[in-house]
Amino acid sequence: MSDGLKKGLTSYGDSGFSLFLRKAFIKGAGYSDDALDRPIIGIANTASSYNPCHGNAPQLLEAVRRGVMLAGGLPMDFPSISIHESFSAPTSMYLRNLMSIDTEEMIRAQPMDAVVLIGGCDKTVPAQLMGAASANVPAIELVTGSMLTGSHRGERVGACTDCRRFWAKYRAEEIDAAEISGVNQQLVASVGTCSVMGTASTMACVTEALGMSVPGAASPPAVTADRIRVAERTGAVAVQLAKSKLTPDKIMTANAFENALRVLLAIGGSTNGVIHLTAIAGRLGIDLDLARLDALGRETPVLVDLKPSGLHYMEDFHAAGGMATLLRELKPLLHLDAMTVTGRTLGEELEASGEGFKQDVVRSRDKPIFAQGGIAVLRGNLAPGGAIIKQSAADAKLMEHEGRAVVFENLEDLAKRIDDDALDVKAEDILVLKNIGPRGAPGMPEAGYLPIPRKLARAGVKDMVRISDGRMSGTAAGTIVLHVTPESAIGGPLAYVKSGDRIRLSVKSRSIELLVSAEELAARAKANPVTAPVAPRGYRKLFLQSVTQADKGVDFDFLRK
């Protein structure tokens, strides 16, 4: 009998009878004693009609099962929550912690010696790694892989950086309704995750850097043979993990998180990656602090030339050798002794990955896309707990900027006024949006990418400084200050900014300052105190009571270690 079937045995005083019942029920599905006497590999299956990013999950599942059986294990798949960015109201982030709880508890509840987690779309991989970290059963992540790029009138397009670019053209009346509908057909050319360096691709890369997936697992597109082979290998490695009992806490160490942050910075990765890594680390009692992120950022150049910071798409990164090419370039900056799921260290895997070759997607360190890491951490009286900016995707001219605030109180206010021709706004103003933080919206929606007011867009304005307590899609670009902490909905200084106030952004000195005196801010707070939102029942009540700020990963306080 494998350890797996005995795990977590509820005996109610008679463990022999309990095991007897377990076997009786599982034998109802036709399993033999021989099959059950093997390492049991759970496989979290997140296939869902609502999740085209996981549209290849059935093929991956088949390949994982094959890999498990070839290695002498017994595969047992089970469903878990599946979250797609576009079909998760009010926001996918609102559901990430719920999925992490589902994942953690089902790993714990069901007999398994190791688990394969099939994820891909933005919130799913972090949710699974958070759950796996807390359950601490040997685990391995398998991402679904990126979608293919499409073609619009001969121009290569992919979700979702080009979604935004074309929509901005449509808003500026540069293209018509017929053309935008043609573009819509091409942006998502196959199943799989967004084809640029958005959050899904970012999490795929940092998961490999963390050591939680097999080497080479980050980059193969969803519909390729390479992706299926990664799935088969993942199944085989899971059986090895079941035997070695190499648990997530031995892989996801403080050094592994530093490697992951290095990679996040070097790929020009999604700002969401910072929140997710903070949340995963928090499950293991590791504090990722923003000061350290900024310090790493100052010495880690952006090397991967992918949209939105650069030019290419994930399939090009794969053709260029994927993570092995990048890790070889970053080698002097990495902790090479960090353990991986294969039982070999990152350094040993890198050694085994062979030689590099000539390619033009991953730059060398002396010819970076951007000399510093993609993300800079800002502080100041507007964000005492920190804020971040994706400097690699920002307009260089706006990174040192002072301007007049044009304030929107919340998303409804923004929708009502942003395109009003009467709005008092100029290109050099700073757009401020409140109440889109963790508790504000709730769930910290990706609304930090405020649209350029229509009248300015028509006049050719492409970028403005924008500030909020929300997030931004990893596929977006612009001079956008995000994750302002503490958020306005709980009375952070952002709550008290008024239109006409002056704000100064200096990426060079890493500061974001509201040029209003502390006395005046205190008087405003006294005159209009903020009441934090609550809910009468259900998940929303739990969420609003327990969610932490961005600097703690937007996890629930009771789930952190």
Which residues, numbered 192-251, are part of the site for Mg ion (CB under 5 A)?
198-199
For the bound state, the minimum distance from the C-beta of residue 542 to ligand FES, rounded and expressed in Å, comes to 25
Residue 473 touches which member of Mg ion, ligand FES, none, C-beta under 5-8 Å by kind: Mg ion
- Number of residues interacting with ligand FES: please give it, by CB under 6 A: 10
Within 13 Å and on the Cβ side, how many CA atoms surround 347? Answer: 9
C-alpha–C-alpha distance, residues 315 and 149, integer Å: 8
Three-state SS at 61: helix
Two tokens, residue 129: 């790694």
E strand or H helix that includes residue 279: helix 272-283
First-to-last C-alpha distance (Å) of the chain? 33
The vertex-94 CA angle with 92 and 100, nearest 5°, equals: 90
Task: By CB under 6 A, tell whether 122 contacts ligand FES.
Answer: yes
316-353 per-residue burial string, b: 16 or more CB within 10 A, e: under 16: bbbebbbbbbbbbbbeebbbbebbbbbeebbbbbbeeb
Residue list 36-55, contact with ligand FES (CB under 6 A): 53
- Stretch near Mg ion under the rule CB under 5 A, chosen from 105-113, 162-170, 426-434, 472-480: 472-480
Could you say whether residue 85 binds ligand FES (CB under 6 A)? Answer: yes
Residue with tokens 């350029």: 452
Q: Name beta bridge partners: 511.
A: 379, 506
345: helix, strand or coil? strand
DSSP labels, 482-529: E--SS-GGGT-GGGG--TT-EEEEETTTTEEEE-S-HHHHHHHHHHS-
Contact status: 104 vs ligand FES (CB under 6 A): no
469 binds, among ligand FES, Mg ion, none (CB under 5 to 8 A by kind): none
Shortest reach from residue 118's CB to ligand FES, in Å: 14
Instruction: Give me the 181-220 binding string for ligand FES, x by CB under 6 A, dash otherwise.
Output: ------------xx---x-x--------------------
Whether the ω angle into residue 533 lies within 30 degrees of 0, i.e. cis, is no
Q: CB nearer to ligand FES: give 67 or 198.
A: 198
Inter-residue contact 96 to 83 (CB < 8 Å): yes
Question: Which of ligand FES, Mg ion, none does residue 142 bind to, with CB < 5 to 8 Å depending on kind?
Answer: none
121 counts as binding ligand FES under rule CB under 6 A: yes
Cβ 475 to Mg ion shortest distance, Å: 6
How far, in Å, CA of 301 to CA of 306, rounded?
A: 14
| Nearer to Mg ion (CB atom), residue 93 or residue 547 | 93
* Closer of 134 and 202 to Mg ion (Cβ): 202
> By C-beta, is 149 or 253 nearer to Mg ion?
149
Q: Is there binding between residue 221 and ligand FES (CB under 6 A)?
A: no
Q: Which of 102, 113, 122, 429 binds Mg ion (CB under 5 A)?
A: 122
Q: Does 83 bind ligand FES (CB under 6 A)?
A: no
Binding flags for ligand FES, 125-144, as an x/- string (CB under 6 A): --------------------
Q: Which does 84 bind (CB under 5 to 8 A by kind): Mg ion, ligand FES, none?
A: ligand FES
Beta bridge partners of 155: 152
- For residue 98 the two structure tokens come to 């719920």
Q: Is 149 in the site for ligand FES (CB under 6 A)?
A: no
- CB nearer to Mg ion: pick between 67 and 448: 448
CA neighbor of 319 nearest in space, from 359, 268, 368: 359
Q: Is 149 in the site for Mg ion (CB under 5 A)?
A: no
If binding is defined by CB under 5 A, does position 473 make contact with Mg ion?
Answer: yes
Give CA–CA dist 323/301, Å, rounded.
15
Return the residues of window 245-304 that contact ligand FES according to CB under 6 A: none
SS3 402: strand
Residue 121 binding partner per list Mg ion, ligand FES, none, with a CB distance cut-off of 5 to 8 Å that depends on partner kind: ligand FES
How many residues line the site for Mg ion (CB under 5 A)?
Answer: 4
CA dist 210 and 261 (Å) reads 9
User: What residues contact residue 557 under an 8 Å CB cut-off, 6+ apart?
Assistant: 546, 547, 548
> Which candidate, 233, 229, 213, places its Cα nearest to that of 221?
229
Distance from C-alpha of 179 to C-alpha of 201, rounded to nearest angstrom? 28
Q: Please state the closest distance from residue 144 (CB atom) to ligand FES, in A.
A: 9
Site residues (vs Mg ion, CB under 5 A): 122, 198-199, 473
Site residues (vs ligand FES, CB under 6 A): 53, 84-85, 121-122, 159, 193-194, 198, 200
